[in-house]
Amino acid sequence: MTKIWQLEQRFHVVTDCTLGQYTANVTNLLENVTAWGYITHMVDVSELIAQIRAAGGDRVDVEVKSAAGGLPQSLTSTLSALANLPGGGTIILGLDERTGFRPVPLGDVHGLKQGLGTKARSFTPPIRILVEDGMVDGEPVVVVRVHECDRAAKPCRVAATGIAYLRSYDGDFAMSELEEQAFLASRCPPPFDREPVEGAAWSDLDSDLVREFLRSVRERDPRGLGRFADDTELLLRAGVLAADRCPTVAGILAMGVHPQQWFPRFVIQASAEPQPGDPPQVRARNQTTITGPIPRMLDEALAWARRTFGTSIVTAADGTVHDRTEYPLVAFRELIGNALVHRDLDHWSMGMAIEVRLRRDRLVITNPGGLYGITVERLGRDAVTSARNARLVAICQHVRSPDTGARVIEALATGLPMVAESLEQAALPPAHYVDAGIRFTAVLYHSAREPVQSPKLNATEQKIYDALAVGPCTVHELETTLALSAPNIRKALRALRAAGLVKQEGGRGKPTIYCRDPS
């Protein structure tokens, strides 16, 4: 009975009626709730909002929208993108990101919920959502939990257009045909690193790398793989060579003389943003394309980082003086190594490179292929090893850098904890990881991001800004609605325009209207 009372209160079931009418109302309500895919209850999102404000609004699994004028058009792409995102995500309606995630007045909350249920059914497959009521700063908001679409049914598309969307750490994007193929391919275990490379021969392997590989295997695994005395047999059983003694994809990538002969986009593209004071025509600094087998690419990527990262001179507690790069090189090496051995090797990704972008406030490393067998939440926390390219990972445990003799990877799940430790020692924020299903991104921040602050608006400016959340208005409409004088309204609008919160449209024979600036 308590559940029914809660539903009555939430959905405003009419109780002043006959018993038969009441029963029909409640039955209809429960059927609608089942069809919409949600039952509402109050949730506390204060901690989540505090995290978003502290992080500067950068959360790939959380989207905030005003919705003061009804369901926004951009909700369509966001629902599709979150349904395609591993783990799904959350949408919060009733907050304005431009003013520090401040609550805005919502009109027909019940209508918003019904609209969400209808919209969730406009996808293929339909999206499962849970709609809940929340409170932020004492004001009501609508919290929408978007469930991840079943992997076998991905990508989730907009039924009317057939377009599927992908979530990135900086927005929603329509998927390309190649990216859609990636979701189809991810339904099966990836076998691509075991395939032979057509046209390749033993002579296409780097003899120095092969020699060190054989030495490492026999030294570290003498009773297992290392017990095979014949080099060819050992390389066959290790998966470096296929049955016809043709090098495999894993063998060429790990120890090929020039893997890009067959895989031209198995490269690292690195560049840095222009610095303040650079001429306008400067588009990038230290741009480079790194090629070669994995150990040589890893060494060259570190050399690029040493040339490109800013360096500070610091004094240690013992009085010694050291150079400190803006990002720890050990963290950079681990992330690049992971990108090289875990990138997707399917046909859809053959045109994509590993990308490194040094921006003014962050370092972004992206590779094709999402996480495999593990979630973002468990990265660096659980000692779980999971490999998309199992053969390549096994080979790279024994491959050595030709310059330093260092191994490429450990495969002991110690890399990301080492990244976290090095960032903490450098007094930098934790790394931010984004798994978009078919693309993985690691972001290191140069310093702690400033919390999002609400612009300092006076009472009149705040009233006008809230009124414009519903839709564009003229000065006269604002004057009538808010009972304010036209001069005060115009003064407040000038301030809001100067703050970049409001824009003016019309003029020259057309009515002048004011609306929120979404940019």
Q: How far is CA 493 from the centre of its chain?
A: 36
DSSP annotation of 382 reads S
pLDDT at 194: 92
Q: How confident is the model at residue 38 (pLDDT cuts 50, 70, 90)?
A: very low
> Lowest mean pLDDT: which of 35-39, 249-253, 381-385, 449-453?
35-39
Region of 300 on the Ramachandran plot (φ > 0 left; ψ -120 to 50 alpha; else beta): alpha
**Chain position carrying tokens 């905030």:** 64
Residue-wise pLDDT for 392-418, tens only, equals 999 999 998 887 777 777 756 667 888
Q: In this predicted model, what pLDDT tens digit does every residue of 444-459 receive, in sequence order?
A: 998 765 555 666 788 8
8 Å CB contact between 87 and 122 = no
Q: pLDDT tens digits, residue range 174-194?
A: 988 878 877 777 666 678 899
Between 505 and 407, the higher pLDDT residue: 505
Strands annotated E in 425-509: 432-435, 439-445, 502-507
Q: Are 488 and 463 in contact (CB under 8 A)?
A: no
Nearest-CA neighbor of 133 among 53, 44, 64?
Answer: 44
Whether the per-residue pLDDT at 354 is higher than 60: the answer is yes
Give the pair of three-digit tokens for residue 65. 């929208």
- Give the tens place of pLDDT for each residue, 303-326: 999 999 987 777 777 777 777 788
Cα 303 from chain centre: 27
- What pLDDT band is residue 1 in, cutting at 50, 70 and 90? very low
Reading the block at residue 458, the tokens are 């006076």
416-428 tens-digit pLDDT: 888 889 998 888 8
pLDDT digits (tens, 9 = 90+) for 47-86: 788 877 776 665 788 888 888 778 888 889 999 999 998 8
**Domains (range + CATH), the chain:** 37-175 (3.30.950.30), 192-257 (no CATH), 260-445 (3.30.565.60), 459-516 (1.10.10.10)
Side chain identity at 171, as an amino acid letter?
A: G
For the full predicted model, state whether its pTM sits above 0.75: no
> What pLDDT is recorded for position 412?
61
pLDDT in tens, 213-228: 999 999 999 999 999 9
Sequence-ordered list of residues with C-beta below 8 angstroms from that of 513, at least 6 positions apart, any chain: 472, 473, 474, 504, 505, 506
